A and B are shown apart, each in its own frame.
Chain A
């Protein structure tokens, strides 16, 4: 089985994000890979966060976070309606955008990693909440800029528990 590199993941996120923004949102997009991000303590978020899990012989999580205003703009572009607050439609739209981006990242990575599954998306909206992914410290971060708005996509991937003892963590992501 081939390994995936940080660059592979960044390229997959860039390609998937461009496809979703061009095809379904019709919003301008500038993609800026921001390298590896080490997270030791639980992270604090404000705004909207959508999570999608990847599972199979490799396991991971992708999450997409943005301000409530950008979430409303995304939902407006997707559903062709204006939103002035974060309601059920907005959360559902953000979850679907995350599902399409992470789902397409998964499809691209399957070329190297074999078949992977995808969880249904979970979306969270609030102020000052913390998240923690068990056992994950290193995230690939890609920033998506659309006008004055910004969205962060974080992605982590590691061999599943069964294979973990065979592949040292430090070998998984190499630039």
Chain B
């Protein structure tokens, strides 16, 4: 069954790379939606249902922590796995994301294999 995915990152370069990695990982992709911050991502989720979210933490307007908080308090989307993919290496931020319900965490720079490994078991 095809999986719709939402990629949230303020860098268009990273969004492209993550899309490519999902293809390389042979994820059975349906639609791949992109958003450049948490606000835009929440707007997308008003009209789209996805089975996986990849999200940055440090973003303008609404960061990944706030976005994750909103997702996990939303009845419709709270069970969607959210993988944090971010430059943010602070243990406090990572722990906060995991406590809020993030399914995992990958630090930038990353290899395709690291993303694939984290996706195993999530989808």
A interface residues (Cβ-Cβ under 8 A, vs B): 19-20, 23-24, 75, 78-80, 88-89, 92-93, 95-96, 99-100, 103-104, 106-107, 110, 115-116, 118, 120
Chain B residues near A93: list those with CB within 8 A.
13
Given A23-B109, A80-B20, the answer on whether A118 and B11 have CB atoms closer than 8 Å is no
B residues within 8 Å of A by Cβ?
10-14, 16-17, 20, 58-60, 87-90, 92, 108-111
Contact between chains at B87 and A118 (CB < 8 Å) = yes
Q: In the complex, which residues of chain B have a beta carbon less than 8 angstroms from the beta carbon of A110?
A: 89-90
Complex Cα spacing A24 to B115, Å: 13
Q: Which of A19, A88, A118 contacts B109 (CB 8 A)?
A: A19
The answer to whether residues A107 and B89 also contact, given A89-B13, A120-B10 and a CB cut-off of 8 A, is yes
B90 lies within 8 A of A20 (CB): no
Q: CB-CB < 8 A to A100: which residues of B? A: 87, 108-109
Q: Are A96 and B14 in contact (CB under 8 A)?
A: yes
Q: Are B88 and A92 in contact (CB under 8 A)?
A: no
Which chain A residues lie closer than 8 Å to B58 at the CB level?
103, 118, 120
23 A-B Cβ contacts within 8 A? A24-B17, A24-B110, A78-B13, A78-B17, A79-B13, A89-B13, A93-B13, A95-B13, A96-B14, A99-B11, A99-B87, A100-B87, A100-B109, A103-B58, A103-B88, A103-B89, A104-B87, A107-B90, A116-B90, A118-B87, A120-B10, A120-B58, A120-B59
Do residues B10 and A23 form an inter-chain contact, with CB atoms below 8 A?
no
Chain A residues with CB below 8 A from B14, complex form? 96
Which A residues touch B16, using CB under 8 A?
79
A80 to B60, CA, bound (A): 27
Give, as a whole number of angstroms, the nearest-CB distance from A102 to chain B.
Answer: 8
Report A45 CB to chain B, min CB distance, Å: 22
A123 to chain B, nearest CB (A): 11
Whether A23 contacts B110 in the complex (CB less than 8 A), given A79-B13, A120-B58, comes out as: yes
Q: Which 7 A-B pairs have the closest CB atoms?
A: A107-B89, A103-B87, A23-B109, A24-B109, A96-B11, A93-B13, A96-B13
CB neighbours (8 Å) of A24 from chain B are: 17, 108-111
Given contacts A24-B111, A92-B12, A107-B90, 15 further A-B contacts (CB under 8 A): A24-B17, A78-B17, A88-B12, A89-B12, A95-B13, A100-B108, A103-B108, A104-B87, A104-B109, A106-B89, A107-B88, A107-B89, A110-B89, A118-B87, A120-B59
